[in-house]
Structure formats: structure tokens, C-alpha cells
């Protein structure tokens, strides 16, 4: 019988590979069908790990199969990839069991004629696991061709993205960044300061058998053992599951008691709750998102948090917002490439292209213009992304300031870089309205 976790991982990869879903959505759908928590965890580990290392695996598969990837059925390619991950990265899984399931899975997928190829390639991977035909680190990092081959193939990132980072930051920083992206990300929480302190939450989690340590964000905790997601502490809204750098953006936004604040692209609501806590229940915080499902998720987060001063409105930030110029502060956490979150969302590096950046930046600038129009006098506009790329960050801010002379940049932007900060790449800039030219 095929292991349910492997079948689920295969279905996740097919959903991502065909463009039917991103990794997060595919995992949520296919893992929910597994009754055993261990199978759910294993399916997620296999699917996510396979996507992290897909570039390296494809190089080896092509070499061992003796043909280009375009000559392999997509289903067969995904079976080879996910089984390579198990053989090379999961010592607790017997190679014989993983390979047998791969052959059986090829049959289940209607590709029984490929069973011999699948078995042969994977047996060779197992035999030669310590000498796979992957580019070695360059003897001279200034040798660009050798550096690109090693970084893009062996460390499994698209060449266009590697070239960008190599040009901006050099070989050592880029290598550190890619290794960061290829490592599993820890689970991080932010204590809901409306209900509990970080130390109090850590104590309750310890009582529930979950070990945490303080994170670098103001109310953050990093989980080292256990899973708090299904506990009553989560159900009671005592914490939000949120990336550390994302938590810092919520603090950077600087919402204050008594203000009128707009969170223009708010779902799933982590930054909304952080700002509500900063406001101490005083003032009004309006949280918006465009799609119904996102609004439902936002509403669940807000309700669970107990934030009483949050109003939820369905609105499209790419269009004129349904408000007058009444807000003291607006946070626009704009939809972006997501290239700063590849450690958690490795499918993004294979789905994005360099051409996407121009399209996204144009949309982001338009949203900034819409957000600026609902600010009152002497107000602040915080622009944020989870992108590493300047087109979506500093360049959008620069273009906005050229168009809107009533704004100025307040201080240095907030910026995290994996090779420097050991955090995902996030960006935020505070734009202060100094006069009203309308």
C-alpha cells in the first residue's frame, strides 16, 4: 500500500506544477485529507523540501536519465523529485521503501511504462548520493560562470535571481542567502499583547509541552519543540503565527492610541493585531482586503484576538478606497513577488520571473497613490513588502515621492536581509505627509 504522506506530497507538487495552486493552498487542501498528524507533517516536509531542492534534483535526473527534462512526463518528474528528497534528506525513511513507493506511484499516476526508468534513476541516486554530478563551489569566486553554475544548480535557485543577488551583494553573501532559503524555517509566534505578555505566553506554552525562546521581534517567540497551532492557547487568540520579520513590520508601522488607522491589505491579520495592540484599544483601526476568503480569514483573526476597535471592510486597494481623507496612518503591505520569503514558500522561486517585477511595481505604485488619498493632514503612510528586489521597494518609494511632493521619507527604511540578519527579506518605508497640496 502506498504511504499516504507520499501520495499527498505528489498531489501537492502536481497542483503547484500545473499552476492550480500555490504551495500553501495545496498543502492546506491535501494534508487536510490525512487523519494522522504524522502523515500531515511528513507530506508537508516532503513537498516543501522537494521544491527547495528542485533545481539540483532536475540536474541530476537529466544526467542519470540520459535525456532532457522535457522528454519526461511531468508526473514522472515529480515522482523522481520527491523520492530524491527522501533518499538524500530523510535518513529515517528506508531507501527501499521510498523507491518501491515511487514505482507504485508511477503506476497509480498512469505512467506504468516509466516504472523501469524511475527505479533505475533512483537506485543510482542512492548508490552515488555522495558523488552526484553537481557543480562544485568555485575555486575562484570571481569566476562568474563557475559561481553561477554552483549557486543556481547545486544550491537550487533560478539563474536570473542568483545573478541579481550576485551582482548586488557578491558571492559569499549570495551563497549564505541561498543556504538560508534552503533550510527549514522555524515556527514563530507573536504574543497577542491585547491579552497576554510574551513571558506569560511562554510559560503557558511550556505547561502545554511546547518549548519556545524569545525571538527578536518585540512580542515574538520561536518554537523549538512541539506544535502550538492546535492548542486552546491558539483558539483563545493568545498568539498569532507570524514570521519574525513580518512582526517587525507591524511594530515599524507605529500605530498609536487615539489614531485613525487603515490597514489597506490586511489579511491574514497579524499586522492588524499588532497595530491594535499598539493602539491599546483607543482610536479606530479599519482593516481591508479584497477577496471574500481573505476577508473571512481576517475576520477570524480579529475575532479571536479580542481587538474591539477594529472594523473590517472589503475593499480593493488598487481602486479608489471608500473613505475620505480621514486617516492619521495607513499601512499598505502591498501584494508583491514574495521573493523575500523563499525559505517558507520555495515554490515562488520557480513561479516568478524577472518580468513580473515591473508589472508588480506598477501596481504597487498605483496602490500607494490610492492609499495616499485617504490620509488627513500631517499623517503617515507606511509602505511594506516581503520582496528582496529594489524595483518593488526603494524604486517604488522613489517614484511615489517624485509624484507626490507633499510627502517625504521619514528616516531609513526598515530592511532585513537573510545573509545579514538571518531573517526573511522584508522592506518597509515610512512616508510622512508634511503638507496638503489638494
419 in Cβ contact with 177 (< 8 Å): yes
Beta strands in 113-210, from DSSP E residues, in sequence order: 187-191
| Grid coordinates belonging to 120 | 533505475
What are the distances in angstroms from CA 210 to CA 182, 226, 235, 239, 339? 25, 5, 16, 14, 31
Cis peptide preceding 121, ω within 30 of 0:
no
In 3-state terms the chain splits into helix, strand, coil percentages (rounded to 5) of 50, 15, 35
**Annotation says 386 is catalytic:** yes
Residue of 212, 265, 288, 386 marked catalytic: 386
Residue 153 φ then ψ, to 5°: -90, -60
Q: Which candidate, 305, 295, 433, places its Cα nearest to that of 373?
A: 433
* 37 dihedral zone (left: phi>0; alpha: psi -120 to 50; beta): alpha
Beta strands in 135-267, from DSSP E residues, in sequence order: 187-191, 211-214, 220-225, 239-241, 260-263
d(CA 40, CA 184): 16
Cα atoms found within 13 Å of the Cα of residue 177, Cβ hemisphere only:
28
CA diameter of the chain: 72
**What spatial distance separates the first Cα and last Cα of the chain, rounded to whole Å?**
70
What are the distances in angstroms from CA 218 to CA 294, 331, 381? 26, 19, 22
User: Any idea which residues carry the catalytic annotation?
Assistant: 386
Amino acid at each position: 500500500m502506498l504511504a499516504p504522506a507520499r501520495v499527498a506530497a505528489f498531489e501537492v507538487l502536481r497542483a503547484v506544477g500545473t499552476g492550480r495552486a500555490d504551495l500553501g493552498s495545496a498543502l492546506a487542501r491535501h494534508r487536510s485529507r490525512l487523519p494522522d498528524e504524522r502523515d500531515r507533517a511528513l507530506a508537508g516536509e516532503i513537498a516543501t523540501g522537494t521544491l527547495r531542492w528542485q533545481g539540483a534534483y532536475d540536474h541530476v535526473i537529466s544526467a542519470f536519465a540520459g535525456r532532457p527534462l522535457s522528454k519526461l512526463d511531468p508526473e514522472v518528474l515529480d515522482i523522481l523529485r520527491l523520492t530524491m528528497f527522501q533518499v538524500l534528506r530523510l535518513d529515517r525513511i528506508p531507501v527501499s521503501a521510498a523507491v518501491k513507493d515511487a514505482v507504485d506511484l508511477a503506476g497509480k499516476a498512469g505512467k506504468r511504462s516509466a516504472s523501469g526508468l524511475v527505479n533505475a534513476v533512483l537506485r543510482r541516486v542512492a548508490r552515488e548520493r555522495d558523488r552526484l554530478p553537481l557543480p562544485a563551489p568555485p575555486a575562484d569566486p570571481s569566476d562568474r560562470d563557475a559561481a553561477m553554475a554552483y549557486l543556481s544548480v547545486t544550491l537550487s535557485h533560478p539563474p536570473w535571481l542568483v545573478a541579481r543577488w550576485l551582482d548586488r551583494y557578491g558571492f559569499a553573501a549570495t551563497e549564505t542567502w541561498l543556504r538560508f532559503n534552503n533550510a527549514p524555517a522555524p515556527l514563530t509566534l507573536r504574543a497577542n499583547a491585547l491579552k497576554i505578555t510574551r513571558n506569560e505566553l511562554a510559560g503557558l506554552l511550556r505547561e502545554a509541552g511546547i518549548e519556545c525562546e524569545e525571538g527578536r521581534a518585540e512580542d515574538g517567540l520561536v518554537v523549538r519543540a512541539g506544535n502550538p497551532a492546535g492548542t486552546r492557547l491558539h483558539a483563545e487568540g493568545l498568539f498569532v503565527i507570524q514570521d519574525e520579520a513580518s512582526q517587525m513590520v507591524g511594530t515599524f508601522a507605529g500605530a498609536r492610541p487615539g489614531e485613525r488607522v487603515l490597514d489597506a491589505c490586511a489579511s491574514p491579520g497579524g499586522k492588524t493585531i499588532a497595530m491594535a495592540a499598539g493602539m491599546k484599544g483607543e482610536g479606530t483601526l479599519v482593516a481591508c482586503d479584497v477577496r471574500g476568503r481573505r476577508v473571512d480569514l481576517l475576520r477570524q483573526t480579529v475575532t479571536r484576538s479580542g481587538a474591539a476597535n477594529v472594523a473590517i471592510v472589503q475593499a480593493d486597494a488598487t481602486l479608489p478606497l471608500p473613505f475620505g481623507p480621514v486617516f492619521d496612518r495607513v499601512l499598505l503591505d502591498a501584494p508583491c513577488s514574495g521573493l523575500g520569503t523563499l525559505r517558507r514558500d520555495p515554490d515562488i522561486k520557480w513561479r516568478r520571473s524577472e518580468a513580473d517585477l515591473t508589472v508588480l511595481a506598477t501596481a504597487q505604485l498605483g496602490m500607494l497613490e490610492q492609499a495616499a488619498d485617504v490620509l488627513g493632514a500631517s499623517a503617515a503612510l507606511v509602505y511594506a513588502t516581503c520582496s528582496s528586489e529594489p524595483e518593488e521597494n526603494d524604486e517604488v518609494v522613489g517614484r511615489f515621492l517624485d509624484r507626490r511632493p507633499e510627502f517625504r521619507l521619514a528616516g531609513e527604511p526598515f530592511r532585513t536581509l537573510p545573509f545579514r540578519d538571518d531573517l526573511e527579506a522584508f522592506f518597509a518605508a515610512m512616508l510622512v505627509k508634511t503638507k496638503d497640496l489638494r
